[in-house]
Structure 1
């Protein structure tokens, strides 16, 4: 791996590990819990990627510096514990977007380097970018962010497709730069303008009785008649809107 890609990978590990520390603090975990969540977020996606690609041993066994970076991140977070909540509100989502972009490109790059087709490269980029966060959220007993309305995995897929396509004819540095730019643009736009994907959900819509039905009900002597059954339909709920029952 080229030297500058290696350092970009380490930078992404620091950012993701820091997000694991923040979630551990919100979940009232002890220092060991912080270390576990930081490691799961920082190297979880890359570990799963290497296992699926058949790379033995996984990257952090050959390069223990990843483990030292995670340990240093957690140690510094313990020292500056009182300042972590400031990062979580403003700076951390932006840094997380940079980590997502870096990990997406690195995952796709490794798959192409091993001779796999473009679609596999896009999938490995997605896995490297989001799998660690999924493991982190599951350990903290939360629904993973990638499975909710957040435009997160979509940005990773777009960046991975950009990288795989540009590698067919463009130079390697240009492909990496444009892929990172695409991922960052989509993710940061979603953060700034609160963009989200639509949600599919079952919505029960009560149906008003027709005039003939109301007339028949007035003629019935039994006032304990069962109400009409409500129809359940599938609707797409736009982000930020609530369904009104009529």
Structure 2
């Protein structure tokens, strides 16, 4: 049940995130749907490739595809004044998607018996993969490649699950809230990772 709930939360959050970015970039309706779907399912597809799950497994998620399409349709039909308010919540939607999918990916790899390193990689790829594809298709620099703290929280989720710190349903939900909260705090207070610039002469 936890797996299904996290999958639905992540799908809705990233589908909305992709659709909002597409509308900000003034894509047409087809572009909005494509970017929303790619954002929602891109991370899972990349994860499946690396941990040995057939990519075709994505097509078994008919309900999630329907949820994603309904979410994109809803945000596309929002009145303009409501959409302007919704844009303020774009980062929050992205934070929810990151947290839900990072935990979901880690659970997936852990249940397949993969080692800690693979669990962390699965968490990171599932959590950030869709966002990277979204930003690249929108012509933006991916969030994860900036100094802004983003992928670190997916790593944290992978560690917690890989080390069996979060196992039961309630522990996973607590982890979801913690990771989401940390991501919100990181962009609210502009927490940054160290960077090193190479001077150009």
TM-score under structure 2 length normalisation: 0.91
Between the aligned partners of 2:109 and 2:76, the Cα distance in structure 1 is 36
Q: Which residue of 2 aligns with 1:64?
A: 62
Tell me if 1:87 matches 2:76: no
Tell me if 1:127 matches 2:125: yes
User: Aligned pair in 2 of structure 1 residues 174, 80: CA closer, same or farther (>3 Å)?
Assistant: closer
User: Which runs of 5 or more structure 1 residues have no equivalent in the other structure?
Assistant: 205-231, 233-246
Segment drifting more, 105-114 vs 76-85: 76-85
Between the aligned partners of 1:81 and 1:100, the Cα distance in structure 2 is 27
Q: Which residue of 1 aligns with 2:47?
A: 49
Between the aligned partners of 2:78 and 2:167, the Cα distance in structure 1 is 42
Q: Which residue of 2 aligns with 1:144?
A: 142
- The RMSD of aligned alpha carbons is 1.8
Between the aligned partners of 1:13 and 1:199, the Cα distance in structure 2 is 32
CA contact (8 A) 1:162 1:178 kept: no
Q: Which residue of 2 aligns with 1:241?
A: none
SS in 2 for 1:80: coil
- Per-residue Cα deviation, 1:21-76 (whole angstroms, up to 9, x for no partner): 11111111000100111011101001111122221254431121121112111211
Matched residue pairs, number? 200
Answer 1 or 2: higher relative contact order, Cα 8 Å, separation at least 6. Answer: 2
Between the aligned partners of 1:37 and 1:134, the Cα distance in structure 2 is 11
Tell me if 1:185 matches 2:185: no
- Per-residue Cα deviation, 1:66-105 (whole angstroms, up to 9, x for no partner): 211121112112211512231121x232232122111111
Q: Which residue of 2 aligns with 1:21?
A: 19
Q: Which residue of 2 aligns with 1:99?
A: 97
1 or 2, which has the higher helix percentage?
2
CA contact (8 A) 2:115 2:162 kept: no
User: Which runs of 5 or more structure 2 residues have no equivalent in the other structure?
Assistant: none
CA contact (8 A) 1:51 1:58 kept: no
SS in 2 for 1:150: coil
Between the aligned partners of 1:187 and 1:92, the Cα distance in structure 2 is 13
1 or 2, which has the higher strand percentage?
1
SS in 1 for 2:199: strand
Between the aligned partners of 1:31 and 1:110, the Cα distance in structure 2 is 33
TM-score under structure 1 length normalisation: 0.75
CA contact (8 A) 1:97 1:188 kept: yes
- Per-residue Cα deviation, 1:132-187 (whole angstroms, up to 9, x for no partner): 000011111111111012211011111211221125xx642254134324422321
CA contact (8 A) 2:106 2:157 kept: no
Between the aligned partners of 1:11 and 1:47, the Cα distance in structure 2 is 17
